[in-house]
Amino acid sequence: MASRIRTVLEMIKFEHSVFALPFALTGALLAARATQHGWPSLRQILWIVVAMVAARSAAMTMNRIADLRYDRENPRTKQRALATGVLSLQFAWLFTLVAVAVFFAASWQLNPLVLKLAPVAIAILFFYSFTKRFTSWSHLFLGFALGMSPAAAWIAVTGSLDLRMLILCAAVTLWVGGFDVLYACQDVEYDQQAGLFSVPKRFGIADALLIARVMHIGVIALLAWLAFSFGLPWPAWAGIAVVASLLGYEHSLVKADDLSKLDAAFFTVNGYISMLFLLFWGAAAAVWRV
């Protein structure tokens, strides 16, 4: 049983939940502080976390189902659980349905608007899995799939949406899109063979790295805009400086002729970025005079 659980968690890359979840929690903190001059309830935090994990689990499993043929062919992915048959396609579909059901249950526990928007969120998450078949900019679709999370958390806390949250959504979209461009550099040869689309395939690795840098510069600009628009205190600006430093370090690890440190850039650095962002912006929310 423990081995099977580990296999399922590996299939959905459960540890990658750390990428989007801290931004969703930041959205929840800002929502409660800005509109209620208080904090999200433990109940709200619990159901936001459940909804995030369930939605992401469903989306990742759908991605593996949709890409099964490619996972079996690609040398980098042919050892994945579905590709090798360790997990069956029937199990993957059942797991997806259960995860979607949990997501809808969590949405129902939050508020009526969240529940009404839940089908839209699932549709967007599932649609991403097919974008690499027709556009080089699938990275931004992935970014948007995760980038929705701060706005979703704001709605979960308040039952409405402050349009300023769309700035944070755009920042997360560019952040995820940028590091996904970096990650796609290792699949250029396979994408060419399989007829799939990506920024590295279209523009070459060197230009793809430049595009990712531009995206991440945009992230810093958007975070600064957001901090200014809310009048956030100094910890938010310190957090932006930390994010900028880590993004700079991430890009220093990846060269057009040397992708050996790509995993460190993708997994480790981006995990630190999301967690430290929540830490600094959570501190800003705590000392914020609203």
Distances (CA, A) of 217 to 107, 177, 210: 34, 12, 11
The pLDDT of residue 106 is 98
Q: Spell out a b/e string for 105-139, using b for 16 or more CB atoms within 10 Å of the CB, else e.
A: ebbebbbeebeebbeebbeebbebbebbeeebbbb
The pLDDT of residue 12 is 60
- Alpha-carbon distance of 6 to 27, in angstroms, equals 30
- Alpha-carbon distance of 8 to 14, in angstroms, equals 9
Question: What band does 208 get if pLDDT is binned at 50, 70 and 90?
Answer: very high
The pLDDT of residue 263 is 76
pLDDT at 149 > cutoff 90? yes
Amino acid making up residue 57: S
- Alpha-carbon distance of 72 to 35, in angstroms, equals 49
Q: Map out the domains of the chain as residue ranges.
A: 2-287
The pLDDT of residue 231 is 96
Tens of pLDDT along 150-161? 999 999 999 999
pTM: 0.94
pLDDT at 227 > cutoff 70? yes
Question: What band does 111 get if pLDDT is binned at 50, 70 and 90?
Answer: very high
What HEC string does 238-272 produce?
A: HHHHHHHHHHHHHHHHCECCECCCHHHHHHHHHHH
The helix/strand/coil state of 96 is: helix
The pLDDT of residue 210 is 97
The pLDDT of residue 87 is 87
Superfamily classification of domain 2-287: UbiA prenyltransferase (1.10.357.140)
pLDDT at 214 > cutoff 70? yes
- Alpha-carbon distance of 49 to 38, in angstroms, equals 19
| % the chain with pLDDT above 90 | 81
Range in 15-29, 43-57, 169-183, 203-217 with the lowest mean pLDDT: 15-29
Between residues 85 and 168, the one the model is more confident about: 168
- Specify which residues 255 forms β-bridges with: 258
Query: Helices (DSSP H) in the chain: which residue ranges?
Result: 2-11, 17-36, 42-66, 68-73, 81-84, 89-110, 112-128, 138-147, 149-158, 165-184, 188-194, 199-203, 205-230, 234-253, 262-263, 270-287
Over residues 207-211, mean pLDDT: 97
Over residues 14-27, mean pLDDT: 82
pLDDT at 50 > cutoff 80? yes
Mean pLDDT of the chain: 92
